[in-house]
A and B are shown apart, each in its own frame.
Chain A
Amino acid sequence: MIELRQITKIYNKGKFNEVVAVQDVSLKIEDGKIVVLTGPSGCGKTTLLSIMGLILTPTSGEILYDGEPVLESSDYWKTNFRREKFGFVFQHINLLPQYTALENILLPLYAKDTDPGDFMDRAVELLSKLGVIERANHLVEQLSGGEQQRVAFVRALIKDPKYLFADEPTVFVDEDTSRIIYRLLQDLRDKGKTIVVSTHDPELIKIADEVHRMDRGRLVQTK
């Protein structure tokens, strides 16, 4: 379970260009659910997602994972936690262009004390499931936007993480890819994974178990 308590994030605090991205947000996310954060652009959903994923430090507040507070832990501990439990899909995909699809997928494994080759079967399985197995050895720049996003998903899932954080996963992709992504998220949810998605996509909102609406950094509605 993920619990956020009065999370606030202020950029450039005290300066003339101070921005309150997230203000006093508290929520609980049970395991095995698809949770959607939605709202207008600039409402703070990406910031909140990043804070939950421990890749952005809030200005104040508390985060608990399975009842354990994590914010006070060291950077080393948080990095280890991310490595073992989290998978990320970014809005801008963020694949390294000089590598092939397969090399990008195996990249997160380099931080583990394991041979990336041991995960080859899983990579092939996931790539096949998402319909991009033929593109495995192509450079990223040779892939379409939809193919890149699917590869990004495989990269996020290669370590079989407990939590998946996806930021606008369907914004740059076509309908076919979107449908594949919806199916994938539902499969993951059925396997007990916790998925937090920030999106405007109405189809994603439809399949979500919880929808939290944000506006100007605050949680305004929860369904």
Chain B
Amino acid sequence: MKKICLMPIIAIVLTSALMIICMTNQTSWQYREYYKEIRYTIGLPSIAIGTNYEGTRNPLLEVFVRSLYDVPGGYDYVVPSSFIDTPLKLREYHESVPGFNMTIRRG
């Protein structure tokens, strides 16, 4: 019974390490800033990942459009809300079809 049990010591070390990782990670995110010059010049959000598919940079919709292969009806950007997200309800925009529709109607 006088044996030193490593497990509790390792448990404490690992838990402490995890807390430190958490703190430093949170701190590093707090000090992250966007590149102002990119905003005022290029202005394309999303992370840069080379792909075999187009649409990685189109704000918002190409991600879904490409996956839907732009079939009739698909280009209305109607996405089953149960799969992706709840339908967006925005006061500035009208939704002409149920679901996820970014078409703007005049008047």
Contact = CB atoms under 8 A, between A and B. Distances in A.
A208 interface: no
A106 interface: yes
Contacts of B1: 99, 103, 106, 116
Interface SS majority for chain B: loop
A106 B1 CA distance: 9
A132 to B, nearest CB: 19
Nearest to A103: B1
Nearest to B2: A117
Interface residues of B, number: 1
A116 B2 CA distance: 10
A185 to B, nearest CB: 29
Interface residues of A, number: 4
B106 to A, nearest CB: 81
Nearest to A116: B1
B5 to A, nearest CB: 14
Nearest to A99: B1
A103 B3 CA distance: 11
A99 B1 CA distance: 8
Contacts of A99: 1
A144 to B, nearest CB: 23
Interface in B1-17: 1
Interface string A76-103: 0000000000000000000000010001
A77 B102 CA distance: 74
Nearest to A110: B1
Contacts of A103: 1
A111 to B, nearest CB: 14
B97 to A, nearest CB: 69
A209 B1 CA distance: 40
Nearest to B1: A103
A63 B92 CA distance: 84
B69 to A, nearest CB: 63
A13 B1 CA distance: 42
Nearest to A106: B1
Nearest to A107: B1
A101 to B, nearest CB: 12
B3 to A, nearest CB: 10
4 contacts: A99-B1, A103-B1, A106-B1, A116-B1
Interface of B: 1
